[in-house]
Structures are given as C-alpha cells and as structure tokens.
Amino acid sequence: MTTTDALATVADRLGGQQGDRLEAIVAVEQARAVAQVAAQVQVAQRFPRDLDRVRVELADACASYELAAVSFWALPNRGQGLSVHLARELAVIWGNVDYGVHELRRDDERQMSEIQAFCWDMQRNSKATRTFQVPHAITITDKRTRVQSRQAIVDLQDIYRNNQNAGARAMRECVFATLPRWLVDTAERLLRDTKRRGPGTPLEERVAVIVDGAKRFRISRAQLEQRVGKPAAAWTHEDVSDLEVIASSIARGETTAAEQFDPAEQRVDVAELGDPDAAPPAPAEPVGDQRPITDDQRTKIILMLKDLDVETDADQHAWLSEELRRPITSRNDLTRGDASSVIDVLQVLLDARGEQPGGDQ
C-alpha cells in the first residue's frame, strides 16, 4: 500500500465519524508514519546494496588524507577511538541506513530532556538505539575546592546544543553497532595506512611543519622527541601522523600540551623577579570590558565549546589559554571583553563546521 492509499483509507474511516479533530489528525499522522517506514523498507529491498561497490567506495574514501586526519581521536584520560565523522562516512558508503538523534520529550519543570539516538539498517532490518535523559544543566568544578556543582540552563538554544551534543556521541555508538565489523575494521586499517603515507609531502617537510607548529603550543623539539622516543631525524610518517593527531586534539581543546608532553625545563631570569622588598602596586578597578565575565557569558562559552567536543574543564581552560594567548586556569579569569571575543570566535567555528551540534569525536 502506498502512502496515498494509506492516508485515503484513514480519511474514509474518519469521514463518517464525528470524532474529535485532534484524534483524526493523530490517526492520519500515524498512518503517514507507517506508510513512510514501509516505503523505506520496500526501497531498500528493491535496491539492495552492492558489496563490490561498497568496497570500491570504501577504498576511495579511505585513501583521502583529509578523512584520515579527522577519523581518529586520542585523549590521555579516555583512550583512543574512531570519530563520529568516520561513523557518518561509513553509514553513507554502506547505504540503506537511516541514523540520527530525536528529542523525544522536554520537561522544563524537571529540567530534563529525553533523547534517543538510533541507527537502522533498513535492508537487514537491524537497528541499534540508545535512549537516555539529559539534564538541562552543565557541571562546573570549583578551582580551589575541586567540588563539582550543576548550573541550570534556561536558554532554549543552549538546551538544544546540550541535547544534540550528548546525542551525537550516542549516535556514533549506534552506527558502529549496526555496521558490520569487517567494514569498520577495514576502514580503520586503510585509514591508518593513509596516515602513515602522509598527505603526499616529503617526510622532511612534514617533520619541519610539526616541529614549527608545536611552537605555538609552547612545545619544544626536545619534548616532541621524548614523546616519540627517538630523534626527529629518525621519525617515520607514522610517527608524524601520531603527533598530528595529538596536535589536532590540542588545537580543538580536547587535551592540553601539559597532559601530552613532559614539561620543559623552566628558567627564570633573576632580573624579572624585581625588588622583593618593594610593595606590590594597587590593582586598578576594572571598568567596561575589563569587568569580570557574566554568568550568561560563562554558560554560553561552556556549551559552545562542548559543541566543538571540548568538554572537560581542563580541556576548556586549555582551549581558552590558546585562544587568548595567556594561561587560563578558570573561566572566572576571563573579562567581559574576553568572553565577547571568544563567543564570536566560537560562533564562526560552529558556522564553518556546517554540521549539527555535537560531532567531533
């Protein structure tokens, strides 16, 4: 039965009744949903996937260094794995797959949303779902006491971002649970080979780029060599690729240089210490943009960074330190001017991403 036939049948049944208008609308929408699902299954069965085509497209996609560069993540506290970017790419290649995130219910009184992430292989009728509740709140850790507390979210856009951020990770697990194991394993092997070969530039140039790029994170050549375990002259393409993954994670704020590399020797110039007997200057009263960050600015920065997969307090502090070019150990270190510029930068990054919130890992 087609969608038109199903809706016509429901309309005929409702035509002679004097029931409530809302019940009629619900019945029509139910019939529409059933017809849509049936149509999806019929199309998937009528046009089954071609495994030869899948293997060819998989090989072509995994030969791209651009895909390989965003397919892995590595964090010192959470291990390593495959990213949501790869999950989406493999779902498209496999074909006849429907996946996404649904907000089932939003309870403003309880400050909670019910989210469902899913992935459905329509041809094999195999489906994985994750249903969970997401509080309308963010966790903040006090810098001095290390006590964690929750701060409620009231802005509708912030609630949406928070829900989608949590749903994207659940969706990634659903996709990997639905796709065949051989497809994921083959993709991982091919992508690692692509990373080892590099983007087509000579090894010497890649080494020079990674050493020079590390300077912006205040990472020395000696620290890089200690991390790899051998001198830069002996590095391979695979060694440089591993460092590039770490550099990308630091740049996105997922980890920090201090977590990934042993500290470099610190040398202090005696002249910089000044006169120990001199009285410290009186601090100037902050005015205008130099006033402390507002609660609304702090909440928005936390949620927007989470959209970029920068979740923990330490990771967010590292991202802010890199962006503002000074050490940030607490979001309270930001002024209103700092917060305003950071929010502008984050909005540009999110707009350039061109994706739904939540989806870097």
Structure confidence by residue, pLDDT tens digits, 331-350:
888 888 888 888 888 887 88
Task: Give the pLDDT confidence of 146-165 residue by residue, as tens digits.
Answer: 677 788 888 888 888 889 88
The per-residue pLDDT for 321 is 86
Task: Give the pLDDT confidence of 194-206 residue by residue, as tens digits.
Answer: 888 878 788 888 8
Residue after which a domain boundary falls, among 47, 62, 81? 47
pLDDT over 50 (residue 269): no
Does residue 8 belong to any structural domain of this protein? yes
Task: Give the pLDDT confidence of 196-247 residue by residue, as tens digits.
Answer: 887 878 888 888 888 888 888 788 888 888 888 888 888 888 788 888 878 8
Does residue 248 belong to any structural domain of this protein? yes
The per-residue pLDDT for 142 is 66
Does residue 105 belong to any structural domain of this protein? no
Does residue 217 belong to any structural domain of this protein? yes
The per-residue pLDDT for 12 is 55
| Domain extent at residue 207 | 198-260
The per-residue pLDDT for 307 is 86
Does residue 4 belong to any structural domain of this protein? yes
Residue after which a domain boundary falls, among 32, 47, 62? 47
Q: What secondary structure, in 3-state letters, does the chain show?
A: CCHHHHHHHHHHHHHCCCCCHHHHHHHHHHHHHHHHHHHHHHHHHHCCCCHHHHHHHHHHHHCCHHHHHCCEEEECCCEEEECHHHHHHHHHHHCCEEEEEEEEEEECCCCEEEEEEEEEECCCCEEEEEEEEEECEEEEECCCCCCEEEEECCCHHHHHHHHHHHHHHHHHHHHHHHCCHHHHHHHHHHHHHHHHHCCCCCHHHHHHHHHHHHHHHCCCHHHHHHHHCCCHHHCCHHHHHHHHHHHHHHHCCCCCHHHHCCCCCCCCCHHHHCCCCCCCCCCCCCCHHHCECCHHHHHHHHHHHHHCCCCCHHHHHHHHHHHHCCCCCCHHHCEHHHHHHHHHHHHHHHHHHCCCCCCCC
Does residue 15 belong to any structural domain of this protein? yes
- In this prediction, residue 357 has a pLDDT band, given cuts at 50, 70 and 90, of very low
Does residue 321 belong to any structural domain of this protein? no
Residue after which a domain boundary falls, among 237, 260, 283? 260
Domain count, the chain: 2
- In this prediction, residue 141 has a pLDDT band, given cuts at 50, 70 and 90, of low
Does residue 236 belong to any structural domain of this protein? yes
